[in-house]
Amino acid sequence: MGNIDDYGGGQHPDSEVLVVTTNDVPGHRVERVIGEVFGLTVRSRHIGSQIGAGLKSLVGGELKGLTKTLVESRNQAMGRLIEQTKARGGNAVLMMRFDVSEAADVGTEICAYGTAAVVAPLA
């Protein structure tokens, strides 16, 4: 099956910035809202993966090369989101989402976005 990180992702357990898809963090209070932050990457299509995907579509099944590329792209966008949050003095991203779209018919745009904030554990 390969490395678990090849086909999935998420935050590293010892990350300096907590990223959640919720409006708040249980057991924490929001001390300060910094504002919107995002991380963006645009990936061009690799001709080899396009040919492989075309052939695979004839018989059906998962396009593992494209899946792996999308995971790498999402992780890169999330890494940039975290860097933006740290640069602005935040330690959390609330309401994080991904947006994926076509970029001028030459690639795929992946954007990770959310609200940067400073959170602290409840006393």
pLDDT in tens, 76-90: 999 999 999 999 999
Contact 36, 116 (CB under 8 A): yes
Q: Which one is predicted more confidently, 48 or 86?
A: 86
User: What CA–CA distance (Å, rounded) separates 45 from 56?
Assistant: 16
Range of the domain at 86: 4-121
Give the number of other Cβ atoms within 10 Å of residue 25's Cβ.
17
Of the pLDDT bands very low, low, confident and very high (cuts 50, 70, 90), residue 51 is low
Full-model pTM: 0.80
Measure CA of the first residue to CA of the last residue in the chain; give whole Å.
44
**Helix (H), strand (E), coil (C) string for 12-73:** CCCCCCEECCCCCCCCEEEEEEEEEEEEEEEEECCHHHHHHHHHHHHHCCCCHHHHHHHHHH
pLDDT in tens, 8-30: 777 777 789 999 999 999 999 99
Q: Are 107 and 42 in contact (CB under 8 A)?
A: yes
CATH number of the structural domain spanning residue 67: 3.30.110.70
Count of domains for the chain: 1
